[in-house]
Amino acid sequence: MPVQVTNIALPDAGKILNLYMKIGFVVHFFDFRNDVRKVIDIISQQHQVVLFVRKEDLQQIKSFVNDRIEVRMADENLPTSQNLILNNLFRFLGKLPESIQNYYLMEVFKISLNPAPVQKKARFWLDLSMKLPRIMTYDYYLNHLQYKGATPIDDIDEFICFTDISDSYLLARLIRERKKVKIYVYSWDHPCKQVKYSNQVDYLVWNEGIREDMIKLQHIHPERIQITGASQFAYVDQFLSIPEASLSKPFSFPYIYFGCAIGAPEIATDEIKVIRLLSQAMQKHLPDVRLVVRPYPVMKDWSIYESLKELPNVILDDKFRSKDLSVQEDFIMEKFIKIHFAEAFIHLGTTLGFEACFTETPSIIIDFEYFQQDKSLLSIKNFVHQYQNDKYLLLKEYPNVVHSEKELKELFQGLLPDKTRYLAYNKAVRDTTPLKKFEQFASQLIYN
């Protein structure tokens, strides 16, 4: 049976939903963030909703929204000499989070999404910037940024943004005109790897641990941060409410589910090597169990996974990708069903490994000792040992953290006879973030 996680009740949530407001959401990555679209749709049933979007995202975002939601183009970008200088200064001197390696890995991943000639130039400038004194705060940048003042905003009661901030010009205007602004920190790793955090707005985060991360890594004032829960984990809650009897096994054979986590091609090849090693070990110690591999959804080129199809005990689970980055809700539930029926979920440090902890399927993270041999900033060691993984997932007191092929052998030999010794880890991880239903989260997003 799926683990039953008690939701936190929101006092008088129904009552406060009756307070009508006009709410502006500053959105991006709208195709990829199914949960954000669902939350905004729920809020639009009780309030008037306006989406503020960049010009380049306008048509795509319009295709995702219902008739109740208004879409406005944010038009604040002002091409002045001062802004040009300021943008370049922040690019090269902008203050980094304390977890610098997280920032670097994310920037390399973003660069990898560009054509090859652009990548080479961008990597040069990134590597140069890493050697410079990063002393300019985001608040200094915002306070000196010039903007058009052309976007209609006077009718909006409050604004809600999502990390990473997509429009600093609009945010600068909202702050200077003293608008009510809240920023939802969308993911557990965002405080570790992003640079656009201001002490002039309020923040909403998943849990107490991430509140601590905001204070430690981004130096946000504690009174600026409130806890709302995780919007994307509302899908976990939705899955756990499905009766066990109505769940169908996705495969007719026993399997271990591996969730790919790496988007930067240079180190994604190292992840492929780990998968091959797992495949070989399973052939030896779990010959009747298959390895089902889920590609990293936002990896630009999935051809990197093609060679895995040659392995006799590996199945590539690659049918969930669409023409954009969106994933149908049925596929989201299917993902949890595959985790639920797996003998184990294995990964190198991913949100899916966190989500797996809400099930009775052991969540296993690989941290092989040989990873330590690579001393470069862009390495599989630094990927696995990102700040959020070290804090929330690499809990060394549990057998779920595998350091060697010997421990991997012990895992495979002990997994089928008795999974229970691996479930204390699941509980320790999931207890950090109580689940919320979409309606509960939507209410807290507005009224917190």
Query: Can you tell me the distance from the alpha carbon of 359 to that of 372, in angstroms, rounded to the nearest whole number?
Result: 31
| 198 lies in the same domain as 74 | yes
Kindly report which listed range (205-214, 268-277, 322-331) carries the lowest average pLDDT score.
Answer: 322-331
| 340 lies in the same domain as 228 | no
Kindly report which listed range (279-283, 300-304, 318-322) carries the lowest average pLDDT score.
Answer: 318-322
| 417 lies in the same domain as 441 | no
Query: Tell me, what's the pLDDT at 114?
Result: 87
Residue 259 near residue 352 (C-beta atoms within 8 A): yes
| 294 lies in the same domain as 351 | yes
Average pLDDT over residues 253-258: 98
| 254 lies in the same domain as 394 | yes
Pairing of strands 158-162, 181-184: parallel
Average pLDDT over residues 329-358: 95
Arithmetic mean of pLDDT over the chain: 91
| 442 lies in the same domain as 421 | no
| 214 lies in the same domain as 299 | no
First-to-final CA distance of the chain: 34
pLDDT in tens, 21-37: 999 999 988 777 999 99
For 144-179, the DSSP string reads H--B---S--TT-SEEEEESSPS-HHHHHHHHHTT-
Is residue 42 one of the residues assigned to a domain? Answer: yes
| 275 lies in the same domain as 406 | yes
| 157 lies in the same domain as 206 | yes
| pLDDT for residue 65 is more than 90 | no
The two tokens of residue 307 are 């060679």
Q: Where are the alpha helices (DSSP H) in 17-56?
A: 34-44
Residues listed for the chain: 448
Is residue 214 one of the residues assigned to a domain? Answer: yes
Is residue 97 one of the residues assigned to a domain? Answer: no
| pLDDT for residue 6 is more than 50 | no
pTM over 0.85: yes
Query: Tell me, what's the pLDDT at 299?
Result: 78
Angle at 420 between CA 416 and CA 426, to 5 degrees: 115
406: domain range? 246-430
Query: Can you tell me the distance from the alpha carbon of 92 to that of 135, in angstroms, rounded to the nearest whole number?
Result: 9
Is residue 117 one of the residues assigned to a domain? Answer: no
Q: Is 77 exposed, middle or buried (0-12, 13-18, 19+ CB in 10 A)?
A: middle
| 318 lies in the same domain as 401 | yes
Query: Can you tell me the distance from the alpha carbon of 380 to that of 367, in angstroms, rounded to the nearest whole number?
Result: 9
pLDDT in tens, 309-337: 999 999 999 877 655 555 678 889 999 99
Query: Tell me, what's the pLDDT at 374?
Result: 80
pLDDT in tens, 75-91: 999 999 999 999 999 99
Strand order in the sheet with 255-259: 314-316, 290-294, 255-259, 345-347, 363-366, 401-402
Q: Return the SS3 of 50.
A: strand
| 212 lies in the same domain as 262 | no
Query: Tell me, what's the pLDDT at 329?
Result: 80
Is residue 56 one of the residues assigned to a domain? Answer: yes
Handedness of CA 74, 218, 236, 268 (dihedral sign): positive
Task: Count up the domains in the chain and report the number.
Answer: 2
Residue keyed to tokens 């409410």: 241
| CATH number of domain containing 300 | 3.40.50.2000
